[in-house]
Amino acid sequence: MIPTLEWTPAGVNFLDQTKLPHTETYVLATDYKQVATVISDMIVRGAMAIGVSAAMGVAIGIDRSTATSIPELTAEVDIICKTLAETRPTAVNLFWGIAQVRELYNQLAAANTPIPEIKQQVVALANCLYDEDIANLRILGANGAALLPDEATVLTHCNAGALAACGYGSALGVIRAAIEAGKKIDVFADETRPFNQGTRLTAWELTKDNIPTTLICDNMAGYFMGQGRIQAVIVGADRIAANGDTANKIGTYSVSILAKEHGIPFYVAAPFNTIDPETAAGSLIPIEQRAAREVTHVNGVQVTPDGVNIENPAFDVTPAKYITAIITERGVLRAPFTESIAAMAHKA
């Protein structure tokens, strides 16, 4: 399993995904501010990994605090949570991870729990969330594998694999589970401009697992669908609205329309905590705008003329009408998603 992030006695250790595929190196974050920087600079990325990273960021902030009273520590926790919440706005898992640790802290603080015990419990929770992420994604993978034919080429956009989680992955977890079940699956990976998660991360991750992978440019998907060479599309998600509208890496919306036109199933694979019941529809999901340099430069070399205007939204929203099913660890959701999501949430 690819070690994306790990709690250690020295701090939280992160695989530096900005250096892949050429260099496998790690960044050690020894306080919550460094964890926030790791998230905002996309050293760690992917909704699931961001969620657990945020939880570990709150935990390490509490663990390293020198506060001697609950009121003093609570004031610090407010700052810690605010700092981490401001790193990336679109992935709801970020806020989920912060809330998990914050809620436990609030309970312990209200009970006047000794500070050393608070530290121990929040660190234990962050590590528990790490383990749960891997376990849940294995279940999700098995749920999704059942939807794939015995032999298929699957298109994926961006990276929703082990690198986007604590291990195994969501979209790529479905592919892994299908192969483990004996199905013959190969992958087309979109390059995913401008940050090239498909080029740098998905292709690297799948080739390390010896899964047959073909890298294609973002504008080639329609061609290969028209040639009959793609049987399914599987992507991850950064936030799913209550009606099933899904925010994922920029370009996902276009792929969904192409899949619909060609009669190809379009699956979203994401843990259930990626669904945000407070967001009624995709139009309400905040879309992160990233630096122009990601578009203007390639490998540090400027490829655009000076003075040209740049837009760089990191995500787009795929309307629920283009989604065949949403695969979660709790089961597979189908339209009408407003009803199926609410029913699954109620069962929990």
CB-CB contact of 118 with 62 (8 Å): yes
- Catalytic residue among 63, 190, 218, 238, which? 238
Among residues 176, 198, 200, the alpha carbon closest in space to that of 188 is found at: 198
- CA–CA dist 58, 259 (Å, integer): 40
Please provide the DSSP assignment of 2-53 as one string: ---EEEETTEEEEE-TTSTTT---EEEE-SHHHHHHHHHTTSS-SHHHHHHH
Please report how many Cα atoms fall inside a 13 Å half-sphere around the Cα of residue 181, on the Cβ side.
21
User: Hey, what are 203's tokens?
Assistant: 């292709």
Maximum Cα–Cα distance for the chain, whole Å? 67
In 160-176, which positions are buried (b, 16+ CB within 10 angstroms) versus exposed (e)?
bbbbbbbbbbbbbbbbb
- Candidates 230, 271, 237, 269; CA nearest to 253 is 237
Here the tokens at position 84 are 């981490």
Instruction: Walk across the sheet containing 151-156 and list its strands.
Output: 213-216, 184-190, 151-156, 232-235, 266-269, 325-328, 331-333
Smallest CA-to-CA distance from 274 within 204, 188, 344 is with 344
Q: What is the CA radius of gyration of the chain?
A: 20
Q: Determine phi and psi for 220, rounding to 5 degrees.
A: -105, -10
Element (H, E) at 216: strand 213-216
Q: How far is CA 122 from CA 53, 114, 118, in A?
A: 13, 13, 6
Residues 99 and 101: their CA atoms lie apart, in Å, by 6
Does residue 245 have an active-site annotation? no
As annotated, the active-site residues are 238
